[in-house]
Structure 1
Amino acid sequence: MNWFALLIIISLTLTAFHAGAADTTPTPIEVKKYDSSSPYSTDAPALSASLFQQIPYPAQPGEEVTLLIKTTNHGDEPAENIIWYLDVQEPFELKETEEATQTLPELRCGETANTEYYLTVDPDARSGEYTLDLNITYSGDFDSDRPYLTTKSMIELTIRVMGHPDLVLTDADIPEANLKSEFDAKFSVKNVGTGPAKNVKVCFENQTSILPKISMYYIDTVVPGATVLIESGFFVDTITPSQHPLPIAIYYENETHGMQPAQRYSVLVPVSSGNTLLIYLDSQDELTDGTVGEITIGVANCGLARAKHVVLTIWEGGGFELIDTDTRYIGDIENDDYDTVDFKILPRSDCINITVDASYDDDYGNTYSMTTELPIKVQPSKEKWVLFLQSVGKYAWIFVVLIALLAYLFRKRIKRIISK
């Protein structure tokens, strides 16, 4: 038994010896090499910087924003005399101008430095991403042949700004409408804010007098500074002339789809029943050529609304001469009412009509005008008739002789025909 155990021990010893003697070379360790983004060898300083944090994010127009920049030395040599310079452009400003440049004496390999910049955002800055350039200059041992160099790099920092939309109704082009009629109107909606307005809804709210054909208009996006024109048709469902209100509501969201306060307006729609004037010749004297006479002109309001500040003007033409002024102020004429004015003229026999202008306003300040021609009758003067008769008397005997001669010749011809 002891010999058997001894044999096993000897066998194991010999096996281990031969195995160790078979290959005395140690197994090599695999080393992975990575290509560095730095243009320099690893035995040089290599700085990389990035915008680590923007506070707040996104920035708001008119508010302050802090930029936290992290700079790390990935090289194997320290970086010295480090200078950061932030080139600040609109819509940003540094709180302190001298803070654009910051320095650090040294940044060892593997170390990280935090640099902060404090900016203010222009109140009129619009939504978007803005880029600022950060320049970094530093020195160090880059090459054994040139032991000390200075290098410069530039990094772009992206800053996010989110503005606020603000939609307003800037114009409402509404014509004067008649009772129980239809009309078209135009409305201008402008984004006077700094951010885009999303999912815009312009609603014409129903009320008893003015009824919209389409109650809501949808607009996907209205960018800052843009104006949207909306054209819509309406029904006038009233028999009362007045200025009837038309309620308008504008709903919209900001760019992150946050609901904004609704903008509400009430515009007035002027509704008139119409105030048509009729100008006519009410009466006239027995006008005689060359004699001053008077004509009376009437103005009747055939509409259902009042005509205000009515003025008549007569044109002095070639057939007559005005004796007094050419304008008459009548004033207001209620519906289904009339008024008259008198003019003195000196007519001639060739005068057959006169031209009259009328101007007036409605209850909403609109001005109207119309022109009418009125026929008149003018008789020749008696003096002209007397002169005519006197002229005829002077030459009457000539007419008598001619008539007698014609009668004699005619009778003689008849007798000759009968005798044959």
Structure 2
Amino acid sequence: MDKIPEDRRSVNKISRGRKSIGKKLVNRKSVNRTLTDRSSASFFHFLLALLMITIFLTDPASAVVVSGNTHLGVEVSEINPNPARPGEDLLIKINIQNSGDEPAENVIVGIEEINPFIFKYSTSGLYGSGTNTERNFQIEQMRQRSKVELNFYFRVDPKAESGIYQLEFTIKDKSGTSFSRRIPIRVEGNPDLVLRGTEILPVNEDNSSSGAIVPGKEFYLKTSVKNAGNGDAKNVRVMLNLNNSSPLIPLEDNVRFFENLSAGSSENLSFKLLLGSNADVQPYRIPLRITASNNTDSFQIDKVQEIGINVLNRAQIDISSLKFDPEIPVKGQQVSLTLRLENVGDGEARSVKARLEGLEGSGSTGAFLGRLDKDDDAPAVFTFTPGKTGDQDVTLLVEYEDDFGEHKVSENLTYNVKSQEGGIFPIAIGAVLVLAVAFFYMRKKGKL
């Protein structure tokens, strides 16, 4: 084989060296491109992460709008009081900021009036010492990297219930770019607890009047506690506030407890009591103490509401004695019948009157006694002339009133009338009958 000339071999070496260097340069460029791509991706991820962090760390009470080289934002600096109170004034301070590199012109700030907030006026250094009563107004120019403080005054509707409400601010610049910001405002009303629908009901007694009790009897005081305020109440207690001298005696636990009572809601409750048997017949008042607080314990309730009750008593009319004069009635001759009526009940009897029904004869058959207090008695006198002989049946009807209304009681009576020609034996028989009737009534009423 022919030898390759020396100079040719040198050229081949150089060519191979160039190719090797070329390959190395290509590989190095590829590596550089890879490094560049990776650096760009890392930088992009860094910017994205920085943007996300910025978004998450941005104050939720602020918002911005960008127009050209202006950069407008709104920030809430004060809410007073916080929470707001129904029926009271509310101050909201906001800052309008231009953090851009150019002045902002013709910036219009507006406030939407949303229930339960009623706009009153606003103040700012823009007005000097004056006020603005318009809900939309204009800031002619805001320097770059400056802010304007605005104070808004509202009235909170007195009927507003507790909850979170929103006020909406709108910002617009001369280019028409605008944004709105809703600011959450917490309103917390105060509870107001009252007792409603109170009843006084005697225990195991059908014929009774609501609101009336009798000495010596048990009864229920039933009522409901209502939150008539505009805020929720917690730890509600209703308790009997009786002193040791009261004739009213609790028969159960004297405290009722409710953990929560929201605005407008109510809870039923009852107490079982006894009125002492020696209690005077007069009106009484049962004091109920109510304590509670609002949810933040910043408002306390501690008051007493009294429940009035009537103490009543029943009257009861009985015949305590019966007497004829003369002792044996005679047909055709005038006779007087005296019935002594006694009030054996515990209450006062009023307008007491009596009459005889079914009488055979002529004369007065009615008597008016008037008022009979407890254990009092009075006579009812009837003067008449019998028109018939033999056994006579009549009915005594007594009418009266007491604390529970009108009453009627009746009693059947039997007596004998003799004839004018009768001898001693009939007279004796008549006397015996009269004495028997008297003995019967005396024994019935416990007089014998």
Residue in structure 1 matched with residue 408 of structure 2 by the alignment: 371
Secondary structure class of the residue paired with 1:311:
strand
User: For residues 197-276 of structure 1, what are the structure 2 equivalents within 5 Å?
Assistant: 197-205=233-241, 207=244, 209-212=247-250, 213-237=252-276, 239-242=278-281, 246-258=286-298, 260-265=300-305, 267=307, 274-276=313-315
Superposition deviation, residue 118 in structure 1: 1.0
Pairs aligned (count): 346
Secondary structure class of the residue paired with 2:341:
strand
- Judge conservation of contact 1:300–1:337 (CA < 8 Å) in 2: yes
The superposition leaves residues 20-41 of structure 1 with CA deviations (integer Å, 9 ceiling, x where unpaired) of xx67999666352559999998
- Judge conservation of contact 2:108–2:139 (CA < 8 Å) in 1: yes
- Judge conservation of contact 1:287–1:377 (CA < 8 Å) in 2: no
C-alpha distance in structure 1 between counterparts of 2:369 and 2:273, whole Å: 37
Please list every run of 5 or more consecutive structure 2 residues that lacks an aligned counterpart in the other structure.
1-23, 56-62, 122-131, 201-210, 420-448
Please list every run of 5 or more consecutive structure 1 residues that lacks an aligned counterpart in the other structure.
1-17, 141-149, 361-365, 383-420
Superposition deviation, residue 101 in structure 1: 2.0
Superposition deviation, residue 367 in structure 1: 3.8
C-alpha distance in structure 1 between counterparts of 2:334 and 2:76, whole Å: 99
C-alpha distance in structure 1 between counterparts of 2:75 and 2:363, whole Å: 95
Residue in structure 1 matched with residue 139 of structure 2 by the alignment: 104
Cα gap change, 1:380/1:156 in structure 2, threshold over 3 Å: closer, same or farther?
A: farther
Secondary structure class of the residue paired with 2:231:
coil
Residue in structure 2 matched with residue 363 of structure 1 by the alignment: none
> Structure 1 residues 29-38 or 224-233, which shifts more?
29-38
Secondary structure class of the residue paired with 1:199:
strand
- Judge conservation of contact 1:86–1:133 (CA < 8 Å) in 2: yes
Superposition deviation, residue 201 in structure 1: 1.0
Superposition deviation, residue 186 in structure 1: 1.4
- Judge conservation of contact 1:67–1:116 (CA < 8 Å) in 2: yes
Of 196, 199, 205, 1:173 maps to: 199
The superposition leaves residues 252-294 of structure 1 with CA deviations (integer Å, 9 ceiling, x where unpaired) of 112213462521355566556x443124494578899999987
The superposition leaves residues 60-91 of structure 1 with CA deviations (integer Å, 9 ceiling, x where unpaired) of 33332111234455788765422222232444
C-alpha distance in structure 2 between counterparts of 1:91 and 1:322, whole Å: 85
Residue in structure 1 matched with residue 173 of structure 2 by the alignment: 138
Cα gap change, 1:351/1:105 in structure 2, threshold over 3 Å: closer, same or farther?
A: farther
**Amino acid of the residue matched to residue 256 of structure 1?**
T
Residue in structure 2 matched with residue 357 of structure 1 by the alignment: 399
Superposition deviation, residue 192 in structure 1: 3.8
- Judge conservation of contact 1:133–1:155 (CA < 8 Å) in 2: yes
Of 114, 117, 120, 1:95 maps to: 120
Superposition deviation, residue 117 in structure 1: 0.6
TM-score (norm 1): 0.63
Superposition deviation, residue 299 in structure 1: 3.4
C-alpha distance in structure 1 between counterparts of 2:147 and 2:332, whole Å: 114
Residue in structure 1 matched with residue 207 of structure 2 by the alignment: none
> Structure 1 residues 60-69 or 130-139, which shifts more?
130-139
C-alpha distance in structure 2 between counterparts of 1:219 and 1:321, whole Å: 73
C-alpha distance in structure 1 between counterparts of 2:173 and 2:395, whole Å: 101
Of 185, 192, 205, 1:159 maps to: 185
Superposition deviation, residue 98 in structure 1: 2.0
- Judge conservation of contact 2:70–2:103 (CA < 8 Å) in 1: yes
TM-score (norm 2): 0.60
Superposition deviation, residue 322 in structure 1: 10
- Judge conservation of contact 1:323–1:345 (CA < 8 Å) in 2: yes
Provide the aligned C-alpha RMSD in A. Answer: 4.7
Secondary structure class of the residue paired with 2:173:
strand
Cα gap change, 1:323/1:47 in structure 2, threshold over 3 Å: closer, same or farther?
A: farther
Superposition deviation, residue 184 in structure 1: 1.1
Superposition deviation, residue 313 in structure 1: 6.6
Note if 1:311 corresponds to 2:349: no
> Structure 1 residues 200-209 or 27-36, which shifts more?
27-36
Residue in structure 1 matched with residue 78 of structure 2 by the alignment: 53
- Judge conservation of contact 2:315–2:349 (CA < 8 Å) in 1: no
Cα gap change, 1:241/1:77 in structure 2, threshold over 3 Å: closer, same or farther?
A: same
Residue in structure 2 matched with residue 62 of structure 1 by the alignment: 87
Note if 1:191 corresponds to 2:227: yes
> Structure 1 residues 287-296 or 221-230, which shifts more?
287-296
Superposition deviation, residue 368 in structure 1: 2.6
The superposition leaves residues 198-256 of structure 1 with CA deviations (integer Å, 9 ceiling, x where unpaired) of 10111224535323211211012233344433211123455343556644322211221
